[in-house]
Amino acid sequence: MKDTGPRLLVALDYKDSAQCLSLVEQLNPADCRLKIGKELFTACGPSIVESVQKLGFDVFLDLKFHDIPNTVAGAVSSAAALGVWMVNVHALGGQRMMEAAREALQQSRQAPLLIAVTVLTSMDDADLRGLGIEDSAEQLVARLAQLAKTSGMDGVVSSAMEVAGMKQALGSAFLSITPGIRPASAEKDDQRRVVTPEQAMANGSDYIVVGRPITQAENPAQACAAIASSIRI
């Protein structure tokens, strides 16, 4: 069944629950879902997930689990118990780790979508060479995306620049979640591989992640609604 919910995910990059909830209370669940990452979850714990869920929002728990298979299996099981809509692991953890995560969620009553991170959108080819990886970001994303699908993931996180090729290779049902999204008028900040919301949708992205252009806007609700409207199909 096709997901009819919002395709915009707002990144809640906050250090405390008060700031976070002050922003969330201005947003409309009909316009967006919410992404909770390491900073906010480490500061506030699982209670922040429950708080925003009570306000009507679906949660993408973006903790990028990357550890031995047994540990990651336990972590995604705990995420499922929180009732999150989506959770992710890092594809560089390998096939056995991703398969362990998938198997763990098969035992959950309401399993979240399980997504794999490929290459961070803050990284470019030069960064990869610094790690001893000679492949381009595009080549590495393609390889990791294929491994993720083989391992039973529902989709991957990648730059929108790689989505079209990935969809062609792996099929339209394999989900694409794309951070590094900036409206044409916004600053790039620390992102390198950046596209606009409209470009991301045209490339085939299923969900886009937007942070500062909404959370630091003078009117966050208006900024969120404008982006959500620009990508509705």
CA 97 vs. chain centroid, Å, equals 19
Average pLDDT of span 149-156 = 97
- For residue 163, the one-letter residue type is V
pLDDT at 191 over 60: no
DSSP the chain: ----S--EEEE---SSHHHHHHHHTTS-TTT-EEEE-HHHHHHHTTHHHHHHHHTT--EEEEEEE-S-HHHHHHHHHHHHHTT-SEEEEEGGG-HHHHHHHHHHHTTSTTPPEEEEE-S-TT--HHHHHHTT--S-HHHHHHHHHHHHHHTT-SEEE--GGGHHHHHHHH-TTSEEEE--B--TTS--TT-SS-B-HHHHHHHT-SEEEE-HHHHTSSSHHHHHHHHHHHH--
pLDDT in the model for residue 190: 47
Q: How confident is the model at residue 185 (pLDDT cuts 50, 70, 90)?
A: low
Residues counted in the chain: 233
Instruction: Name the catalytic one among 64, 149, 167, 188.
Output: 64
Q: How confident is the model at residue 69 (pLDDT cuts 50, 70, 90)?
A: very high
Q: Which residues pair with 89 in a beta bridge?
A: 65, 116
Q: What are phi and psi of 156, to 5 degrees?
A: -140, 160
Average pLDDT of every residue of the chain: 91
pLDDT at 2 over 80: no
Q: Which pTM value belongs to this model?
A: 0.91
pLDDT single digits (tens) 217-231: 999 999 999 999 998
Domains of the chain from N-terminus onward: 8-231 (3.20.20.70)
pLDDT in the model for residue 226: 94
pLDDT single digits (tens) 17-62: 999 999 999 999 999 999 999 999 999 999 999 999 999 999 999 9
- The answer to which of 28-32, 77-81, 137-141, 207-211 has the lowest mean pLDDT is 137-141
- pLDDT > 70 in the chain, percent: 94
Active site (annotated) includes residue 64 = yes
Distances, alpha carbon 27 to alpha carbons 56, 97, 104, 126, 171, in Å: 10, 36, 33, 38, 33
Average pLDDT of span 206-225 = 95
pLDDT in the model for residue 105: 96
